[in-house]
Amino acid sequence: MSPLTPPPVLVPEGLSQDLAAFAPAFVIFGAALIILLWEAVVRPADKRVFMGFSLTAILVALGLNVGVAVEDRLGFSGMVSFDAYSVFFNSVFLISAALSTLLSHDYLERVGVRIGEYYSLVLFGLFGMMLLGMGADLMLLFVGIEVMSIAFYCLSAIKRTDARGIESGFKYFIMGAFASGILLYGVSFVYGATGTTSLQGIRAAIEGGVHGGMLGLGVAFIIAGFLFKIAAVPFHMWAPDVYEGAPASVTGYMATGVKAASFAAFGRVLFVAFLGLKDDWAAPLMVIAAVTMLLGNLVALVQDDLKRMLAYSSIAHAGYMLMALVAVDAESVGLNGQVSGLLFYLLAYTFMNLGAFAVLTLMAGDRDDLTSIKGLAGLSTRNPAVAAGLALCLFSLAGIPPTMGFVGKFYLFAAAVRADYVGLAVIAALSGAIGVYYYLRPIVVMFMQEGGEPLSIRPTAASVGALAIASAAILYFGLFPSQLIELCQAGVLSLVG
Amino acid sequence: MFEALLFYTFSVLAVFAGAMVITRRNAASSAIALVASFFCLASMYAMLGAHFVAVIQILVYAGAIMVLFIFVIMVLNLREDNDPGWNLSPRAVLGAGVGGLVGLTVFVGASAARSATFMPADKLDPGFGTIEQIGYTLFSGRYLLPFEVVSALLTVAVVGAVVLAKKEL
Q: What was the pLDDT predicted at A490?
A: 85
Q: What was the pLDDT predicted at A369?
A: 57
* Shared-domain flag, residues B4 and B71: yes
Asked whether the ipTM of the predicted complex exceeds the cut of 0.95, the reply is: no
Is B114 in CB contact (< 8 Å) with chain A? yes
Residue A6 lies in a domain: no
Q: For A137, phi and psi rounded to 5 degrees?
A: -145, 135
**Spatial separation of the C-alpha atoms in residues A142 and B86, rounded to whole Å:** 35
Q: Which residue of A has its CA nearest to B131?
A: A4
Contact A326, A293 (CB under 8 A): no
Q: What was the pLDDT predicted at A333?
A: 47
- Higher-confidence residue of A325 and A45: namely A325
Residue B88 lies in a domain: no
The rounded percent of chain A whose pLDDT value lies above 70 is 92
Ranges of H-type helices in A195-237: 199-207, 213-229
Is A451 in CB contact (< 8 Å) with chain B? no
Q: Which residue of A has its CA nearest to B105?
A: A217
Residues in B closer than 8 angstroms to A33, CB to CB, are: 155
- Higher-confidence residue of A269 and B27: namely A269
**What is the extent of the structural domain holding A33?**
20-496
Residue A262 lies in a domain: yes
Q: How many domains, chain A?
A: 1
Beta carbons of A147 and B149 less than 8 Å apart: yes
With vertex at residue A415, the alpha carbon angle to CA A414 and CA A420, rounded to the nearest 5 degrees, is 95
Q: Which residue of A has its CA nearest to B109?
A: A213
Q: How many domains, chain B?
A: 2
Q: Is the pLDDT of residue A468 over 80?
A: yes
Beta carbons of A140 and B145 less than 8 Å apart: yes
Residue B101 lies in a domain: no
Is A108 in CB contact (< 8 Å) with chain B? no
Give the CATH number, domain containing residue B28: 1.20.120.1200
Per the rule left: phi > 0, alpha: psi between -120 and 50, beta: everything else, A71 is beta
- DSSP β-bridge partners for residue A82: A73
Which strand (E) or helix (H) includes residue A424?
Answer: helix A422-448
* Shared-domain flag, residues B75 and B131: no
Q: Greatest CA separation found in chain B? A: 61
Residue A160 lies in a domain: yes
Q: What was the pLDDT predicted at A1?
A: 44
**What is the extent of the structural domain holding B30?**
1-79
Residue B132 lies in a domain: yes
Residue A15 lies in a domain: no
Q: What is the pLDDT of residues A122-156, one digit of tens each?
A: 999 999 999 999 999 999 999 999 999 999 999 99
**Spatial separation of the C-alpha atoms in residues B151 and B98, rounded to whole Å:** 37
**How close does chain A come to B80, measured CA to CA in Å?**
23
Q: Which residue of B has its CA nearest to A182?
A: B102
Residue of B113, B133, B155 lying closest to A4 (CB–CB):
B133
Q: What is the pLDDT of residues B21-37, one digit of tens each?
A: 988 888 888 889 999 99
Q: What was the pLDDT predicted at A269?
A: 94
- DSSP β-bridge partners for residue A75: A80
Which strand (E) or helix (H) includes residue A385?
Answer: helix A384-398
Is B98 in CB contact (< 8 Å) with chain A? no
**Spatial separation of the C-alpha atoms in residues A160 and A93, rounded to whole Å:** 26
